[in-house]
Amino acid sequence: MKVGKTLQEFAHRRFNPLTGEWVLVSPHRTKRPWLGQQEPAKEPARNSYEPDCYLCPGNLRASGQRNPSYTSTFVFENDFPALTGSSFQGNEPFSNLFRSEPVTGECRVVCFSPRHDLTLAEMKPEEIKRVIDVLAEQTSELGQRYRWVQVFENKGSLMGCSNPHPHGQIWASTSLPNQPAKEEKSQKNYYRLHGKKLLLRYGEEEMAAGERVVMANSDWIVIVPFWAVWPFETLLIPRKAVSRLPDLTNRQRENLADILKRLLTRYDNLFQTSFPYSMGWHGAPFGKKDTRFHWQLHAHFYPPLLRSATVKKFMVGYEMLAEPQRDITPEQAASQLRAQSEKHYRHR
């Protein structure tokens, strides 16, 4: 669906069919003056190896364990896991207003490569493909024991990432967390009503409209979703029905590496900075009930930056107390991302 002129000019709300939540869009406000904080852009030159980094090959971690001299993607058990193999047993005191439940799980850290200075955007497609293969293997292994496997990356100090060595994380849990629980419900309902996956249909409609599409290849599409909350938020979806990372064919993985590299390069070029974000994969939950028919694999990218390498969007005030709000429209954000080169600014 292409938006009419009114949605580019007047305040309105947009609905997110995945979560059932609304976002307030205020395009008329994009010209308001900005007197907020201008943090200085700091882009320290990085070495390919850092003796003090707990993720570099051969180095000591906080736990006292030493990393092997790894030469490609390396996974280890998080030394400070948020989920562990044990929780309480039996019943805690329970009432409608005081509910708790046990949860067990596992947390792992994934070093994308031995190089301390190499983000996914600057890795070779075949190296990114290796990361994808590892994430798929991990998902299928942990999915045998856990209901939900959350693969994510927290990138940049702005997002609270503690170490610049490019890495992702995997948290697996016996319970279905809030966000996937909402998406599970919506995708299941949509499939029941329409006999088709919600995000498959959505991707097709976005391809036809074009105005929110950032890029596509034969297997993947990247969209600034109609209901995006973060200024340059994107949604990455396979163009055919796929439920989980391990279900991707070799060809789809190669094309994923291609589109990831191109997307992340555009992100870096937008404000000429190593673009911070939180991103993560959502695939069909595991367990007894088969969720694969209605669930379409996808990744969300949530970058905090608004108008420069230092000016970010704050989710405060109205967002915390009422609902998310944005000024620039998703259509404007998509067009800005489309205007970026796919050659990385650091290599020009």
Contact set with Zn ion (CB under 5 A): 50, 53, 55-56, 116, 165
One of 19, 169, 175, 335 touching ligand H2U (CB under 6 A)? 169
Between 62 and 97, CB nearer to ligand H2U: 62
70 contacts ligand H2U (rule: CB under 6 A): no
Does residue 274 come out as left (phi exceeding 0), alpha (psi in the -120 to 50 range) or beta?
beta
Does residue 109 belong to the site contacting ligand H2U (CB under 6 A)? yes
> Which amino acid makes up residue 156?
G
Chosen from ligand H2U, Zn ion, none, partner binding at 165 (C-beta under 5 to 8 Å by type): Zn ion
- Give the pairing type, strands 21-25 and 325-326: parallel
Q: How far is the CB of 277 from ligand H2U (least distance, A)?
A: 12
Report if residue 80 touches ligand H2U, rule: CB under 6 A: yes
Smallest gap from Cβ 154 to ligand H2U, in A, equals 4
Q: How far is CA 98 from CA 92, 94, 95, 101, 296, in A?
A: 10, 6, 5, 10, 34
- The one of ligand H2U, Zn ion, none whose footprint includes residue 163, by CB under 5 to 8 A per kind, is ligand H2U
Instruction: Select the span of 19-27, 163-171, 200-208, 242-250 touching ligand H2U (CB under 6 A).
Output: 163-171
- Examine the residue annotation and report whether 167 is marked as an active-site residue of this protein: yes
**Residue 310 site contact among Zn ion, ligand H2U, none (CB < 5 to 8 Å, cut-off depends on kind):** none
Nearer Cβ to Zn ion (116/326): 116
Q: In what order do the strands lie in the sheet with 325-326?
A: 12-16, 21-25, 325-326
Three-state secondary-structure class, residue 24: strand
| Rounded Cα gap, residues 208 and 204, in angstroms | 6
Q: d(Cα 154, Cα 143) in Å, to the nearest integer?
A: 22
Residue 270 contacts residue 340 (beta carbons within 8 Å): yes
**Residues near 314 by Cβ (< 8 Å), separated by ≥ 6?**
none
Which pair of tokens denotes residue 9? Answer: 């000019």
- Given 28, 116, 165, 167, which residue is catalytic? 167
> Measured between alpha carbons, how far is 114 from 49 in angstroms, rounded to an integer?
8
Total number of residues binding ligand H2U (CB under 6 A)? Answer: 14
Helical ranges in the chain per DSSP H: 125-143, 178-194, 198-209, 250-270, 318-321, 330-338
Among 12, 61, 239, 344, binds ligand H2U (CB under 6 A): 61
Instruction: Answer for the pair 263, 214: CB distance below 8 angstroms, yes or no.
Output: yes
Question: Is residue 179 within the footprint of ligand H2U (CB under 6 A)?
Answer: no
Pick between residue 114 and residue 330 the one whose CB is nearest to Zn ion.
114
Q: Could you say which of 69, 84, 162, 249 contacts ligand H2U (CB under 6 A)?
A: 162
CB of 170 to ligand H2U, least distance (A): 11
140 binds ligand H2U per the rule CB under 6 A: no
Residue (163 or 332) nearer to ligand H2U, CB: 163
Contacts of 147 (CB under 8 A, 6+ apart): 173, 174, 175, 176, 285, 286, 287
According to CB under 6 A, which one of 45, 62, 321, 322 is a site residue for ligand H2U? 62
Give which of ligand H2U, Zn ion, none residue 157 binds (C-beta under 5 to 8 Å, depending on kind): none
Identify which of 137, 159, 122 has the alpha carbon closest to the alpha carbon of residue 74: 137
Question: In this structure, what token pair is assigned to residue 217?
Answer: 């290849």
User: Which of Zn ion, ligand H2U, none does 56 bind, CB closer than 5 to 8 A by kind?
Assistant: Zn ion
Active site residues: 167
Contact residues for ligand H2U (CB under 6 A)? 54, 61-63, 78-80, 109, 154, 161-163, 167, 169
